[in-house]
């Protein structure tokens, strides 16, 4: 699986209501079933909220109603799971149902022949999923993974009162972001909160600006392994804009020492010390827990502003489309049948969806607008609509890329934000990682 920083894991594991990916229950267990009947599928999952609220109850109901098609789950701590699944898949002893965040991990599984092509078996299920989320499990027009948990795009948050007091409107394009910086600094507040010490929050700026300037094609070329793909003029321009923001003082003083693990970036926004913040949908949980009144009345949220003249569609979003289930190519015929039945009939059945919505999560399912509105209010509706209407939903780059490239990306991006390297040097350094 793609490696993540430990602070990102802890931040997500602390979120309870919005279906954070690190909380999402994985899938897999030894294909032999550990002594279970030969037709039983196996699944490993992560300990956390969903073990109790979504996947756990779903499997309990499923197994009670399907004596001949059981799905046996075992749950692990996040780090232990990542080690075990990497070893199991590599050794050809993977569980029946394999959990991943798709992206580079799924691509590596497909290239190695570790997961089954389930295109025909999932044809009827495709229509119930939001297209931008479903497509993450499709490689070369074949389906290798299906969504199994909530969608969590990256959101543009703002403090309504702080913006109003400074006479600043919510930015709708990059030029308006730049224009707002001196006004907010004059008002004595940081234009943007940023947990720079955690590195991955800085990546959100990179992902959105590259999309808005160059369109999704720029990162697609990187994913395709094209030589010098990081030298795309749009990527260099996006990184020039990042350094323009840094030099203008867009980010809170000392941002390089602010951590997401402590929710310090969130606190800066709700205490009025910062005006805006780019963060995942999952932090709404923290807002509600730590500043409930602010979350209800003082917090605004939208998508990332456009870049005038850029190639990217303003409806494009980045973040975590969902977690995904695949089926091990080494599973027995009977195990595959049991797994397929659960994935197509159990995952995202009515009870599954109802439990997610009740927990404040946003399922990537079509035609549930009213259910989302009733349970999640305006925020849930906003997240759902952004996902539903996105021309492209780009998976977070540190999940999409292979581990070695993802690690190098976060290191070089940290240096870019701290003005230690230029945009051209960033591209040169990252070009060297292509193929790793």
In the chain, the domains with their CATH numbers are 6-150+321-395 (3.40.190.10), 152-318+402-431 (3.40.190.10)
pLDDT at 45 over 50: yes
Tell me the two tokens of residue 337.
């049948």
pLDDT confidence band for 79 (50 / 70 / 90): low
Q: Looking at 177-266, which runs of residues are DSSP E strands?
A: 190-193
Coarse DSSP helix, strand, coil percentages of the chain, rounded to the nearest 5 percent: 50, 15, 35
Residue the block writes with tokens 């999409």: 400
Name 107's Cβ contacts closer than 8 Å, sequence gap at least 6. Answer: 139, 223
- Interval 97-122 mean pLDDT: 92
pLDDT at 95 over 50: yes
* Across 195-199, 226-230, 359-363, 382-386, least confident range: 359-363
Residue 7's pLDDT is what? 35
How many other CB atoms are there within 10 angstroms of residue 65's CB atom?
Answer: 9
How many Å apart are CA 58 and CA 56, to the nearest integer?
A: 5
How many Å apart are CA 375 and CA 68, to the nearest integer?
A: 35
- Interval 239-263 mean pLDDT: 96
How many Å apart are CA 341 and CA 333, to the nearest integer?
A: 12
CA-to-CA dists, residue 416 to 67, 146, 320, angstroms: 56, 36, 24
Q: pLDDT tens across 301-353, in order?
A: 999 999 999 999 999 999 999 989 999 999 999 999 999 999 999 999 999 99
pTM (2 d.p.): 0.82
Q: Which helix (H) or strand (E) holds 81?
A: helix 78-91
3-state secondary structure of 43: strand
């Amino acid at each position: 699986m793609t490696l993540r920083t430990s602070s990102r894991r802890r931040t997500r594991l602390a979120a309870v209501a919005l279906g954070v990916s690190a909380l999402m229950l994985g899938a897999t267990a030894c294909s032999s079933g550990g002594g279970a009947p030969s037709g039983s599928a196996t699944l490993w999952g992560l300990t956390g909220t969903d073990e109790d609220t979504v996947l756990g109850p779903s499997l309990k109901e499923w197994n009670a109603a399907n004596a001949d098609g059981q799905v046996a789950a075992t749950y692990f701590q996040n780090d232990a799971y990542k080690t075990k699944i990497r070893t199991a898949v590599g050794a050809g002893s993977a569980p029946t149902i394999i959990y991943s965040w798709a992206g580079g991990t799924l691509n590596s599984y497909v290239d190695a022949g570790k997961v089954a092509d389930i295109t025909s078996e999932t044809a009827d299920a495709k229509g119930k999923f939001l297209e931008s989320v479903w497509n993450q499990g499709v490689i070369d027009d074949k389906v290798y993974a299906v969504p199994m948990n909530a969608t969590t795009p990256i959101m543009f948050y703002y403090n309504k009162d702080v913006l109003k007091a400074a006479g600043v409107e919510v930015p709708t394009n990059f030029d308006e972001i730049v224009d707002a910086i001196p006004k907010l600094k004059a008002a004595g507040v940081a234009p943007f909160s940023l947990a720079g010490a955690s590195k991955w929050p800085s990546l959100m700026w990179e992902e959105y600006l590259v999309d808005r300037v160059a369109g999704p094609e720029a990162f697609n070329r990187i994913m395709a392994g094209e030589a010098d793909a990081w030298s795309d003029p749009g990527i260099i321009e996006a990184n020039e804009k990042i350094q323009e923001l840094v030099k203008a003082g867009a980010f809170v003083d000392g941002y390089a020492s602010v951590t997401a693990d402590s929710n310090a970036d969130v606190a800066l926004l709700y205490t009025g010390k910062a005006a805006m913040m780019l963060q995942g949908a999952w932090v709404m949980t923290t807002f509600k827990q730590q500043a409930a009144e602010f979350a209800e009345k003082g917090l605004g949220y939208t998508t990332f502003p456009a870049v005038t003249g850029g190639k990217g569609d303003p409806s494009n979003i980045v973040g975590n489309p969902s977690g995904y289930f695949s089926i091990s190519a080494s599973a027995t015929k009977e195990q595959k049948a049991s797994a397929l039945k659960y994935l197509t009939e159990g995952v995202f059945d009515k009870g599954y969806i109802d439990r997610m919505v009740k927990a404040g999560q946003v399922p990537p399912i079509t035609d549930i607008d009213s259910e989302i509105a009733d349970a999640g209010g305006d925020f849930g509706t906003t997240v759902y609509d952004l996902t539903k209407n996105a021309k492209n939903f780009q998976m977070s780059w540190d999940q999409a890329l292979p581990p070695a490239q993802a690690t190098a990306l976060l290191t070089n991006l940290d240096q870019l934000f701290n003005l230690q390297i230029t945009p051209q040097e960033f591209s040169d350094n990252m070009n060297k990682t292509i193929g790793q």
